[in-house]
Amino acid sequence: MQRSLVKQPSVKSANRALDIFELLAAEPNGLTISEISERLGFARSSTHGLVHTLYSRGYLSLDAGNRFYLGVRLIQLGLTVADRLELRSAAHGRLEQLVMRNNDTALLVVPDGGELLYVDKVISDTPRHGFLDHPPRRIACRPGADQGTRLLDRPAGGCTGRVVRRSARS
């Protein structure tokens, strides 16, 4: 199913569940129900119901300190999508060729809603400029309409987003 360009009415509870996923994805130490409620501006009672529904279905996990994290069920869903895409396996050999030719780390990204979605990486043994040890899943980069699918044909400096690079010595 393709995303429709026509604006469709949204379901409030579905949007809220997705907001919870996105918030927890950015919180490696997890959050309590009160913290989730406060940060998202949801009523605590609504947050409690949503969080416990997601927890009971395996989409969230809970630690001894009553802090919630993303759950393993999301990994299962992600792997299902990855299996269908086959992009990573189809492009991995090309990434290795780029690394061998340029002595630098190569990242595979795809445009997604004005952002670049990180798919794969191959790290060079002898990087020229540094490397991303743990690159973000979404790179803050806003390609123009003319760049679209031609991003891989352009030099690395063609996009001027914020990507934190760490020196190979650090």
What per-residue confidence (pLDDT) applies to 3?
A: 57
DSSP symbols for the chain: -PPPSSPPPPPHHHHHHHHHHHHHHT-TT-B-HHHHHHHHT--HHHHHHHHHHHHHTTSEEE-TTS-EEE-HHHHHHHHHHHHHH-HHHHHHHHHHHHHHHHSS-EEEEEEETTEEEEEEEE--SS-SS-B-SS--SEEB----TTTGGGGGGS-GGG---B---B-TT-
CATH number of the domain where residue 50 is located: 1.10.10.10
Query: Are 18 and 68 in the same domain?
Result: yes
List the pLDDT tens digit at each of the 170 positions of the chain.
455 556 778 899 999 999 999 999 999 999 999 999 999 999 999 999 999 999 999 999 999 999 999 998 988 888 777 766 678 788 888 889 988 888 888 888 877 667 777 778 888 887 665 544 444 444 444 444 443 334 444 334 434 343 433 333 33
What per-residue confidence (pLDDT) applies to 64?
A: 95
Domain count, the chain: 2
Query: Are 133 and 99 in the same domain?
Result: yes
Domain region containing 138: 86-158
Please report whether residue 30 resides in a domain: yes
Please report whether residue 170 resides in a domain: no
Give the other-Cβ count within 10 Å of 48's Cβ: 15
Query: Are 103 and 136 in the same domain?
Result: yes
Query: Are 111 and 149 in the same domain?
Result: yes
What's this model's pTM, rounded to 2 decimal places?
Answer: 0.51
Q: How many Cα atoms sit within 13 Å of 35 on the Cβ side? A: 12
What per-residue confidence (pLDDT) applies to 127?
A: 64
Query: pLDDT tens across 18-60, in order?
Result: 999 999 999 999 999 999 999 999 999 999 999 999 999 999 9
Please report whether residue 141 resides in a domain: yes
Which residue, 77, 95, 112, sits at the end of a domain? 77
